[in-house]
Amino acid sequence: MANTGTSGFGLRAAMRVGNTPSIGGQSKYQVKSGLGVGIFKGNPVSRQHTGDEGYIQDVSFATTDDGVSSAGGTAYDNSASNVAKLIGVFNGIFFIDNTTEKPTFANSVAASTTFGTNPNTGSTDGIGFVNDDPLQEYIVKSDAAVPQTKHGDAFNIKNFTASDAKNGQSTAFLAVDGVTGANTKMFRVVRSAEDPNNEDLTAANCNIVVAYNAASNVYLS
């Protein structure tokens, strides 16, 4: 039966490796005011290693916020010297709104957003919440069939147009179409997500469970 869902939704937390319950743990990471590339809920993030070093950036886009071309999205390659390894999946941001001066929480932050000054810390940084459990598994929609021969292979997250995001939620897919899995990519296919409406692995738009490729995660490599 054809898969009914056709819209990507980024990475959604599922169980942990070993089929143990997700602990839902999140850590706080700094987000730079005026960032060059937006960050969206459900997208993988890394730390910038050039420019604004230490701040997090969305890795689902081809050009990352540290200005490195072809460092993210389908071009991600963990063996490249200018590519930062993943720390986790973005789950929202807290910042001071620069216009209202009010504390604000959002699912995403658009490129060029300027934050107000936090009266308690004097900082203009935003606080990004990241699921950085390296054993967390995720459900993601694939852009192509995922036969058994591709299980265990690693693939990247398919970059998307920021304007396609829905309520700040990513619409990214796992990039399988026409791609050979490799140890240089982001996430490994684990199994079907067993979604009754989207479990036909012989067709595009199937929902599958993935885990970090250890070579692409900063806490596993």
The 10s digit of each residue's pLDDT in 62-109 is 888 888 878 899 999 999 888 899 999 999 999 999 999 999 999 999
Percent of the chain with pLDDT over 90: 81
Average the pLDDT over 138-148 and give the result. Answer: 97
Higher pLDDT, 78 or 23: 78
Whether residue 64 lies inside any domain: the answer is no
Whether residue 105 lies inside any domain: the answer is no
What lies within 8 Å, CB to CB, of 217 at 6+ separation is: 85, 86, 87, 134
Whether residue 86 lies inside any domain: the answer is no
**Number of domains within the chain:** 1
**pTM of full prediction above 0.75:** yes
Whether residue 207 lies inside any domain: the answer is yes
Whether residue 109 lies inside any domain: the answer is no
Percent of the chain with pLDDT over 70: 99
Measured between alpha carbons, how far is 207 from 221 in angstroms, rounded to an integer?
Answer: 27
Whether residue 78 lies inside any domain: the answer is no
Measured between alpha carbons, how far is 73 from 26 in angstroms, rounded to an integer?
Answer: 23
Whether residue 100 lies inside any domain: the answer is no
C-alpha distance across the termini of the chain, in Å: 39
Whether residue 204 lies inside any domain: the answer is yes
> Residue 168 is part of which domain span?
136-216
The 10s digit of each residue's pLDDT in 165-211 is 778 999 999 999 999 999 999 999 999 999 999 999 999 999 999 99
Tell me the H-state helices in the chain: none
Amino acid 160: pLDDT: 74
Measured between alpha carbons, how far is 92 from 74 in angstroms, rounded to an integer?
Answer: 23
Write the CA distances from 47 to 95, 139, 193, integer angstroms.
18, 23, 29
